[in-house]
Amino acid sequence: MLTLILFLAVLSLLVLVHEFGHFFAARIFGVKAEEFGYGFPPRLIGLVKHNGKWKRVKANDEASYQNTIWSLNWLPLGGFVRIKGEGVEDKMTDSDAFPTKPAWQRVIILAAGVAMNWLLAYVLFFGVLVSGVPTVIEDLPQSATVQDKSVRITNVLPGMPAEKSGIKAGDQVLSINGVTAVDYDQTRNEILKSNENPVQIRIKNQDGEKTLTVQPEMVKELGRYGIGVSLADVGVVKFGFFSAMYQAGVAVVGYTWQTVSAFGGMIRDLVLLRHLEQEVSGPVGIAVLTGQMAKQGIVTLMQFAAILSINLAVINFLPIPALDGGRILFVVIEKIRRKAVTRKLEAHIHQVAFIALIILILLVTIRDLGKYGGSILGGLKHLVGI
């Protein structure tokens, strides 16, 4: 239940911030925002400021209001903003309608959503860097301060002795054969000194401390015995206020580039290999990951939300119909042709693309259920006391 609540909270934050960007830009340029809603219809309640007072909206008279309707809807999956003139049947002649505005203003209104997602990511990264974030201590800026240094397991090779012994990625190494783990080099050397002899590893994780015995195996590729783990020096890295402002910008740019590169790789795989080499998660997978990040603390959850916000920005900016980038593409085409595509044709194209996106999300969700179904079922059983 907590995982579901956190997932809905993170999703709502990302979507509402995105929609507020459209709303804010529309109001700047004098475009009426007919409704700003949390969740999706059917509507639970709608309020509007009319003649200086807030009143509840009735379905048969909402068109008469000049101000924005603020609504709470039954499906708590983000939110939406309804801008005047976006519908196929909406009038295009009113001065406060979206289609009557110059192309550059329409582009800004359409792009404001992704801009807000990038801004949200920046704010979240800033909070993370000021608060302190666990990270690998490597090539850090001079302005960084490091606390709570430790040696961590960063990767466990499948089928190797470490995995068989119960060691997991993220475990903190306290000692090797009774010798306190100081840093990466010293810990690695202590493991190598054991050669083919059993290694006593004392670890610490969310379940507490325990000592495990690991029997090394010969690794032919390396020509020596090993247990199958990757190690790293990890610490809580913090930055001062002004340093964090700069480093947050660096993080946003870096993660944006990584996201764009990942999508480029996905497109390449689909075109050349006819399948995806990379992992793709849908709503179910993201919900599970949100729960996992939350268990590591609020700072880790903030960092995860920032990365999701960047992903949402990049995806929405792609020139695909039904997305913000696709709508911007139609504005660009209008300027090139000096004539707008008919509204009905554009609407049909967006509808077809939207249906295709929904089908894709459903396919990914089905795969996620196959991957995470066991943990989800276990959580439901725990919830109902089975």
Candidates 319, 289, 325; CA nearest to 307 is 289
Digit-coded pLDDT (tens) for 330-378: 999 988 988 888 878 888 888 888 787 777 666 655 655 555 544 433 4
145-238, CATH topology level: Pdz3 Domain (2.30.42)
Q: Which of 19, 86, 190, 346 is catalytic?
A: 19
> Looking at the predicted structure, is the pLDDT value of residue 308 above 50?
yes
SS3 state at 138 = coil
Tokens coding 80: 């939406």
Tell me the DSSP string of 148-182.
EEEEEEEEE-TTSHHHHHT--TTPEEEEETTEEP-
Residues of the chain within CATH 2.30.42.10 domain(s) are 145-238
Residue 19 among the catalytic residues: yes
- Residue 328: the pLDDT is 94
Q: Do 212 and 201 touch, CB atoms closer than 8 A? A: yes
pLDDT tens for each residue of 6-57: 778 888 899 999 999 999 999 999 999 999 999 988 899 999 987 788 888 8
Q: Residue 375 has what pLDDT?
A: 45
pTM for this entry = 0.78
